[in-house]
Structure 1
Amino acid sequence: MSKSIENIERKNNKRQKAIKNLLTALLYLSPALIIMGAFLFYPMIKTLYYSFFVTNSRGETIRYIGLEHYLYLFESQVFRTSMKATFLFALYTVPTTIILSLFLAIIANEKVKGIPFFRVVFSSTLGISVAAGATIWLLLFHPSLGVFNSLLNAIGISDIQWLTSPNWALISVSITTIWMNIGFNFIILLGGLQNISEELYESAKIDGAGYWNQLFNITIPMLSPTLFFVSVVTIINSFQSFGQIDILTGGGPNNSTNLIVYSIYREAFENGFFGSASAQAIVLFALVLVFTFIQFKVGEKKVHYQ
């Protein structure tokens, strides 16, 4: 009888201790939870709520319409064009950014005199704001004063309407975005390269492995966790690009650069249709979630953590 009472008391003590630990943890986490609740969870719930309503220009709900906003989106030619532009933009920017960043990181990881200077140069875009970077490229793409058309004219090629042609506008914005994102990816990949043990390369040299053999059998596999992280972050960033679109093209010409994020902005703050904009935001969230899930399901299997 006494043993059963002791067991009950022991269980009660464990339960009380667990509750006390939980309350202590919540107390320490409460500042972060309050901030996340105010700036993350509440806006997400509010966005989902708005997507089921028609709103006025002040964002006040007028009447409930259910899934009509979502049905209208998938019937809208403008939204389909926006979806196509978003996927093409991601296709143009993500692989190119990762490949160029990896190439620069491999070069900067070499033990060559003066390489710290080039590391600073390669990572310099990280310190440039989106507005400043887009303005620089706006000047470079200028039809009459820009450097690119001046170079083309010098070799006998006619001007290209970089930002005003539907065929070139998305490519021009993609080039700008690639340049902006290289700095961050370069630093992350360079850090990953410097964490690879030199003993692996020394062993490979003893076995007679050449440079390319070491690159594809040691460097890339050991760098796979960093590459996986960079690919996830770069894809998410490609779906969230806004500043360079607004400065360079304003979503034009003919909606060729009207990515989903910019379409949400125009629908909400220019047209005043907060319900439709909220529905687009939910669709964008679902797209990012699906792509991230696929990456973790497929890509993580090829990651070597040891």
Structure 2
Amino acid sequence: MASVGQRSWNWKDTGIAAAMLAPSAFILGLFIVYPLGRAVWLGQQRCNAFGDQCRSNGFDQYLDIFTSNEFQSALRATIILTVITVPLGLFLGVGLAVLADKHLRGVGFFRTAFSSTIATSVAVASLMWLFLLQPSVGALANIDWINSLFPVIKDPGLLQDPDTALPSVAMSSVWAGLGFTFILVTASLQGVPRELHEAAAVDGATGTMRFWKITVPLLAPTLIFVVIVLTTRAFQTFGEVDLLTNGGPRPGNSTTTITYFVYGEASVIASDPGLQAGGAVLLFVILLFLSGLQLRGLGRRTDLG
């Protein structure tokens, strides 16, 4: 007889548990495990120009892809894009959320305006910025005083100049993702007890001190999540690049990110599914490493670590 507090092995309970897990396991295997495994397998293949005759190069092909000049250039562009978009997007999102958290008349209108970009697709946002920056018919390019201050807007154009194309794409990406950051931070601010700020104010703490000593620590879990999401989004940037620059300007391809390198129509590996799969797997590994690094590094400063 089993002692008190112990249970004998029950195959019936095991069967019930397996039956309950089966639908989730099936969906996970069909849409996550199988595609990932096939991508890893396909990443070893090297195909002809038509993509139908492939041969295995083994896992050495991943090293060949990673060390290639094209992938290194795409990785460099992706890192630059991330360095621009993540801090700027976080700063603007937090700043606007703090401003909109004030109890003022009409603040609801500004909250709606600041969060409206979350309902705008990447395609629509990119076309809006294309309308603004296109040198021949763009709104900014045809304002005289702006042209006199920044001649590059008109000739050759911000999206055509190798030095300004990537920052211009980054601005479009920041604007498109601003609503997401704003909504999350605003929701977190609603959970910060007002009593803490009132007590600190009574003790003589300034607004800046209260923000850094009270608000930021309580927002830290949300900020970590936002940083991870913004980083992932930056590394997966495709729509903005495809619509605004098509990976150019050429021949330097200064806006060819890793995602465009893998999926872009003008990419040098566009006709080789093996190299494309290898690049996608490398992108997955890089994002997995960065997410773990961010959780480990930033999580130590919060109650999540």
Q: Distance in 2 between matches of 1:155 and 1:248?
A: 20
Against the structure 1 CA distance between its residues 152 and 287, is the aligned structure 2 distance closer, same or farther, given a 3 Å change threshold?
A: farther
Q: 2:31 aligns with which of 39, 45, 50?
A: 39
In structure 2, the gaps of 5 or more residues are: none
Q: Distance in 2 between matches of 1:26 and 1:42?
A: 18
- TM-score (norm. length: structure 2): 0.90
- 2:274 matches 1:279: no
Q: 1:126 aligns with which of 118, 122, 125?
A: 118
After the TM superposition, which segments of 4 or more aligned residues of structure 1 sit over 4 Å from their partners? Answer: 8-12, 56-61, 267-270
1:1-306 equivalences under 5 Å are 6-7=1-2, 13-16=8-11, 18-27=13-22, 30=23, 32-56=24-48, 60=52, 62-151=54-143, 153-154=145-146, 156-157=148-149, 158-160=151-153, 161-253=157-249, 254-266=252-264, 271-304=270-303
> Percent identity among equivalent residues?
32
Deviation of 1:58 after TM superposition, in Å, equals 6.9
Whether the aligned pair in 2 keeps the contact of 1:53 and 1:61 (CA below 8 Å) is no
Against the structure 1 CA distance between its residues 145 and 46, is the aligned structure 2 distance closer, same or farther, given a 3 Å change threshold?
A: same
Q: Distance in 1 between matches of 2:82 and 2:174?
A: 10
Q: Distance in 2 between matches of 1:291 and 1:41?
A: 21
**2:248 partner letter:** G
Deviation of 1:159 after TM superposition, in Å, equals 3.7
Higher helix share: 1
Whether the aligned pair in 2 keeps the contact of 1:51 and 1:69 (CA below 8 Å) is yes
**1:36 partner letter:** L
Whether the aligned pair in 2 keeps the contact of 1:59 and 1:274 (CA below 8 Å) is yes
Against the structure 1 CA distance between its residues 98 and 218, is the aligned structure 2 distance closer, same or farther, given a 3 Å change threshold?
A: same
SS at match of 1:7: coil
SS at match of 2:46: strand
Whether the aligned pair in 2 keeps the contact of 1:228 and 1:303 (CA below 8 Å) is no
Deviation of 1:212 after TM superposition, in Å, equals 1.1
Q: Distance in 1 between matches of 2:264 and 2:255?
A: 13
SS at match of 1:123: helix
Deviations 1:113-148 (A, max 9, x none): 000000000000000111111000000001132233
Q: Distance in 1 between matches of 2:270 and 2:146?
A: 44
Deviation of 1:207 after TM superposition, in Å, equals 1.4
In structure 1, the gaps of 5 or more residues are: 1-5
Q: Distance in 2 between matches of 1:9 and 1:61?
A: 65
Deviation of 1:76 after TM superposition, in Å, equals 2.1
Q: Distance in 2 between matches of 1:33 and 1:61?
A: 34
Q: Distance in 2 between matches of 1:78 and 1:277?
A: 12
Structure 1 range deviating more: 62-71 or 255-264: 62-71
The root-mean-square deviation of aligned C-alpha atoms, in Å, is: 2.4
Deviation of 1:255 after TM superposition, in Å, equals 1.4
SS at match of 1:156: helix
Alignment size in residue pairs: 297
Whether the aligned pair in 2 keeps the contact of 1:134 and 1:248 (CA below 8 Å) is yes
Against the structure 1 CA distance between its residues 12 and 271, is the aligned structure 2 distance closer, same or farther, given a 3 Å change threshold?
A: same
Deviations 1:252-285 (A, max 9, x none): 1121111001100137897320111111111111
Deviations 1:3-49 (A, max 9, x none): xxx1299967444365145224315xx1x333332222211111000
SS at match of 2:55: strand
Against the structure 1 CA distance between its residues 24 and 198, is the aligned structure 2 distance closer, same or farther, given a 3 Å change threshold?
A: farther
Against the structure 1 CA distance between its residues 199 and 304, is the aligned structure 2 distance closer, same or farther, given a 3 Å change threshold?
A: farther
Whether the aligned pair in 1 keeps the contact of 2:270 and 2:276 (CA below 8 Å) is no
Q: Distance in 2 between matches of 1:75 and 1:200?
A: 53
Whether the aligned pair in 2 keeps the contact of 1:50 and 1:61 (CA below 8 Å) is no
Larger radius of gyration: 1
**1:255 partner letter:** N
